Each structure stands twice: as structure tokens, then as C-alpha cells.
């Protein structure tokens, strides 16, 4: 037992580089027909106390909006730019100059994700993947930014084979020629392994073998817990098992000190008839439990207490994403900033705990008489003592210059000033309460973003409607998972015997 404990202790101490507190971040995909402006995105992030984001590109207007926001940013080299960067040091240096150096330190870029699931999504770029990382790293070194900005590449968990029991996991040997130099690079630069972890797909492909509760971090009866017969570690959720499988797959190649950051994890809230477990209830349970699990610094059975920071997939539902219904419904929020569901996070820290479902605004009623609106507007900005200067020409809420828009601003400012008390959103019947934030462009309404009308200067920023690659969840449907589920059968069977 003493030997075992000592062994465990050594194992823990080797991954100490990640011993800071784990954080929750979010991915921001942009395949959205009415993509909010960068200013609105940042207002939502701030209201939700989200301090870590990953972009799927390095969109200039988004990076400008994130400047001086206190939010840490992972930018990405989209897969379609990877070949060029991996083949040319100069192209890489150029990319870094334009997308990183131009924005730091105002925008706190802390990592560069080079490609997305390259080995499984774009295998023909695999031979240049490590060169791409190295070229980008040398450009950072040349600018003395390599300490604050880490370079890595997000992997699909399907590159890990025999994930159960986790202690037997190894990387698909087809990728050994890439993984060994990649891990050497991560180790020598103090970076981390980026891993996308989708218990949803493992559950879906297991044909009922993986209990839903096990995928959703719900309590399991002891006889359903999975026990790794080699390590005697108990697994009570799929997420931990996949992360530990990645640690073991790295050890299999003799790398024992590389931390893991989960670059994507989540659960869809809606699906078609063949996706019956993509429900609001399950998505809420998964993401709420995931956030608690990560923020508790629980670590994994193999490395208890070691931070596994995780980016939730994803901030917004992406209605333009191709594929099944679930593909469009991984978001925590609709594009208008309304939460898709209210996370159960009481006592789990502050991130995302500021649910906005109770956030209400006062707006001019549709079809209200313009004369009555004007009278009410005059009252609000006069006797009502509303601060109406944002409505003046040249100010952020001047446009659109019509009585409905201006009355809406003034009604809402009054309503918020009166702490939304009953009767303060009436204005002789021409006003009504809504949960939709009427903010637009740089005109941020009082009550929006949890702040009193703090707005970020984004007047000149165009909405980033031209998205490049976004999260690549769909490929899991065809690949990965199946082996995992076979082995889970083994483990569940084994644990039944064992206990």
C-alpha cells in the first residue's frame, strides 16, 4: 500500500505544471445567421463572468472588441491555413504578426490552437503539423511572447485507442510519427495537450452500454462504477475516463509531465428523432455538472487535484452549421443573448452563474401611437430624470433616429433606474417588458450585461459574419467512440465481478 501511495504521489507530482486553479472557458463559433456584433459578444461574456474564450480563427474585430476586457483568448489557425503555415516559416511569422502581435498586450492572447482535430479532420496536413507549431513558436520567441502564449493543437479523443480501462490507452500508432515530436514540442515549450472530450458521442455510440448517468456526471450505484483493474481507480464519469486515457496514452510514449486542457466539451440541447438524448434537461445537467467538476479542481482519478481547464462547446447555438439538428444546438445562448437553459450552478463559483433569464428590459410596444410615444419619451428624459444623452446626435444610441427606438431606450433606462419595480414599465400603456436585450451595436442598454450601461467602444467594429472553420463535432459520428464503448463493456463487466 505504501508503495502504491508513493507511486501515486510521484504520478501526481509530475503533472504539477497545471496545479493552478482550473478554469471554465467557452468556444465561440460564428456560423450564425444573425451573429451578434463583437461588442455584444463581449458584453455577454462579461455579464456571465466568462474570462476565457477560444476563437476558431483570429477575427480582427473580435480581437479588438476583446481588448482590455480582462478576458483571456485562445486564437486559432483555421485548418485551411495550416498547410501554408506548416510549409513556410515566413507565412507562419506573417500570421503571428498580423493575428497576434498586432493585438497583444491589449488583447490578452494566451494560446494559439494550430488547426482543429487535424489528424482526424485533415490527415493530409498531419506531416506539416509539428512544423507549423514550431514555426509559430519561433515567431513568438522572436517577439519575446513565448512565455505568455502557448502553442498547441486540439485533438479529437478518437486518436486514443483502447480508452477503457484508461490505463491501457494508447495513441493510434498510425500517428506515432506525429505524436512523438508533437509531445516533445509541448514538453520543451511548457505547453499542454489540447483535447476535445465528447461523452455525448461515446454515449450515443455505445448502444446503451454506457449508462446515461455515467456520461452526465450523475451519481451511479457503486456496482455500475467502472473500475480500472490495473490501477484500481474508480471512474464515476466518462469525462474523467477520457482525460485519464489521454494521460496514459502520453505515458505510453514516455511523456508524463504534459498537462491537458480540454478545448471542447458539451452536450446538445436539441436533436432529431434519432438523437433523443439531445435535450435541454441533459444539456443542462451535463454542462452544470461539468462546470462544478472543473471548478472544484477535482482533477481526475489518475491526477486528483490537477487542473483540467475546459472550454465548453459552445457559447451560441449555430443555426448555420450543416448536419443534423443537434449540430446546431450545442450553445448555452441563443444569438440574441438569451440563455437556452438556466444552468444549475448555485454555489459553483461565479462563471455563468449570472443567469440572465430574469433579465428584463422595458421597450416601446409594437404599433404604439407615435404621439403618445413622443410624449412619454419627453416625460422620461425630463421629469423622469433619465440620462438621455446617449440619444443625442453622434452618440451611440442616436441611430436609428426614430421615436420608437429613442422611446425604447428612455423607457428602459427609467425602468432599470427604478429597479424594475412594478408599474415602472407602462408609460400609459405604450411600454412593455421583454427578456430580449434591445442593445444594438455600440448602443448598450442599461440593465444589459449586468452592468449599468457600461459599453465597450466598438462603434467601428463590423460584425464578424464571415466565419471560417468552427467546431468539428460532427466527425465523431463516423469515427471514434466505437472502440471505447467496447472496452467500457469490458470495464463495466469487470467491475461487476470485482465488487
Ligand X SMILES: *[C@@H]1O[C@H](CO)[C@@H](O)[C@H](O)[C@H]1NC(C)=O
List of residues contacting ligand X (CB under 6 A)? 49, 72, 89, 93, 105, 108, 110, 123, 135, 138-139, 142, 161, 172, 174, 253-254, 292-293, 296, 298, 350, 353-354, 358, 387, 396, 450-452, 454, 457, 459, 462, 466
Q: Tell me the three cell numbers of residue 406.
A: 429613442
For ligand X, give the closer residue by CB, 160 or 227: 160
Q: Identify which of residues 304 and 370 has a Cβ nearer to ligand X in the complex.
A: 304
Q: Which helix (DSSP H) or strand (DSSP E) does residue 27 occupy? A: strand 24-28
Q: Of 181 and 374, which has the nearer Cβ to ligand X?
A: 181
* Distance from C-alpha of 350 to C-alpha of 395, rounded to nearest angstrom: 33
d(CA 40, CA 456): 9
- CB of 255: closest distance to ligand X in angstroms? 9
Residue 160 near residue 171 (C-beta atoms within 8 A): yes
Task: Indicate which residue of 117, 225, 314, 327 is catalytic.
Answer: 117
314 as an active site residue: the answer is no
Contact 161, 483 (CB under 8 A): yes
Closer to ligand X by Cβ: residue 369 or 395:
395
Q: Supply the minimum distance, in Å, between the C-beta of residue 417 and ligand X.
A: 9
151 or 368: whose CB is closer to ligand X?
151
**Residue 338 is among the residues annotated as catalytic for this protein:** no
Nearer CB in complex with ligand X: 14/298: 298
Give dist(CA 197, CA 498) in Å, integer: 28
Q: Which of 197, 120, 160 is nearest to 478 (CA)?
A: 120
Angle at 32 between CA 26 and CA 33, to 5 degrees: 160
Tell me how crowded residue 200 is: count the other CB atoms within 10 A of its CB.
28
Q: φ and ψ at 336, to 5 degrees?
A: -85, 5
Which residue has cell 510521484?
Answer: 10
Cβ-based neighbours of 83, under 8 Å, separated by 6 or more: 125, 128
Q: Which residues contact 40 (CB under 8 A, 6 or more apart)?
A: 337, 439, 440
285 — alpha (psi -120 to 50), left (phi > 0) or beta? alpha
Q: Are 114 and 151 in contact (CB under 8 A)?
A: yes
Cell numbers that stand for 428 in this block? 400609459
CA distances from 447 to 38, 88, 382, 390, 462 (A): 19, 49, 21, 15, 24
Q: State which residue, 123 or 276, has the beta carbon closest to ligand X.
A: 123
User: What distance in Å separates the CA atoms of residue 460 and residue 131, rounded to the nearest whole number?
Assistant: 37
Please identify which of the residues 72, 225, 264, 366 carries the catalytic annotation. 264
Residue 306: all three cell numbers together: 490537477
Catalytic residue positions, numbered: 117, 264
Amino acid at each position: 500500500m505504501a508503495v502504491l501511495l508513493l507511486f501515486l504521489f510521484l504520478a501526481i507530482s509530475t503533472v504539477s505544471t497545471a496545479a493552478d486553479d482550473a478554469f471554465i472557458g467557452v468556444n465561440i463559433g460564428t456560423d450564425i445567421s444573425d451573429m451578434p456584433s463583437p461588442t455584444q459578444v463581449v458584453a455577454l461574456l462579461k455579464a456571465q463572468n466568462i474570462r476565457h474564450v477560444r476563437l476558431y480563427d483570429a477575427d480582427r474585430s473580435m480581437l479588438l472588441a476583446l481588448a482590455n476586457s480582462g478576458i483571456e483568448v485562445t486564437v486559432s489557425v483555421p485548418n485551411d491555413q495550416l498547410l501554408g503555415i506548416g510549409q513556410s516559416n515566413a507565412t507562419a511569422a506573417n500570421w503571428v504578426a498580423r493575428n497576434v502581435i498586432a493585438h497583444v498586450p491589449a488583447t490578452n492572447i494566451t494560446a494559439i490552437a494550430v488547426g482543429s482535430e487535424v489528424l482526424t479532420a485533415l490527415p493530409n496536413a498531419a506531416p506539416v503539423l509539428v512544423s507549423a507549431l514550431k514555426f509559430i513558436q519561433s515567431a513568438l520567441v522572436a517577439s519575446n511572447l513565448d512565455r505568455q502564449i502557448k502553442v498547441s493543437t486540439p485533438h479529437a479523443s478518437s486518436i486514443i485507442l483502447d480508452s477503457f480501462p484508461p490505463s491501457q490507452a494508447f495513441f493510434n500508432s498510425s500517428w506515432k510519427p506525429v505524436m512523438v515530436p508533437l509531445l516533445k514540442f509541448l514538453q520543451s515549450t511548457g505547453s499542454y495537450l489540447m483535447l476535445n472530450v465528447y461523452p455525448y458521442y461515446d454515449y450515443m455510440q455505445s448502444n446503451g452500454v454506457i449508462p446515461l448517468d455515467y456520461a452526465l456526471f450523475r451519481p451511479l450505484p457503486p456496482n455500475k462504477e467502472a473500475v480500472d483493474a490495473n490501477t484500481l481507480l474508480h471512474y464515476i464519469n466518462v469525462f474523467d475516463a477520457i482525460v485519464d486515457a489521454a494521460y496514459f496514452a502520453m505515458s505510453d510514449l514516455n511523456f508524463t509531465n504534459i498537462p491537458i486542457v480540454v478545448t471542447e466539451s458539451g452536450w446538445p440541447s436539441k436533436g432529431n428523432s434519432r438523437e433523443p438524448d439531445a435535450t435541454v434537461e441533459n444539456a443542462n445537467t451535463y454542462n452544470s455538472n461539468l462546470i462544478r467538476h472543473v471548478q472544484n479542481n477535482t482533477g481526475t482519478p489518475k491526477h486528483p487535484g490537477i487542473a483540467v481547464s475546459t472550454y465548453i462547446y459552445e457559447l451560441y447555438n449555430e443555426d448555420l452549421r450543416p448536419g443534423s439538428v443537434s449540430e446546431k444546438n450545442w450553445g448555452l445562448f441563443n444569438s440574441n443573448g438569451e440563455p437556452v437553459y438556466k444552468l444549475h450552478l448555485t454555489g459553483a463559483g461565479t462563471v455563468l452563474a449570472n443567469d440572465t433569464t430574469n433579465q428584463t428590459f422595458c421597450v416601446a410596444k409594437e404599433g404604439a401611437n407615435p404621439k403618445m410615444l413622443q410624449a412619454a419619451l419627453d416625460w422620461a428624459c425630463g421629469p423622469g430624470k433619465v440620462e438621455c444623452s446617449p440619444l443625442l446626435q453622434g452618440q451611440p444610441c442616436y441611430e436609428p433616429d426614430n421615436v420608437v427606438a429613442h422611446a425604447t431606450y428612455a423607457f428602459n433606462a427609467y425602468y432599470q433606474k427604478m429597479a424594475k419595480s412594478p408599474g415602472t414599465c407602462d408609460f400609459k400603456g405604450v411600454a412593455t417588458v421583454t427578456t430580449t436585450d434591445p442593445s444594438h451595436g455600440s448602443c448598450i442598454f442599461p440593465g444589459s450585461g449586468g452592468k449599468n450601461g457600461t459599453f465597450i467602444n466598438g462603434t467601428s467594429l463590423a460584425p464578424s459574419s464571415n466565419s471560417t472553420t468552427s467546431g468539428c463535432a460532427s466527425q465523431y459520428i463516423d469515427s471514434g467512440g466505437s472502440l471505447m464503448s467496447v472496452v467500457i463493456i469490458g470495464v463495466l463487466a469487470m467491475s461487476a465481478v470485482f465488487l
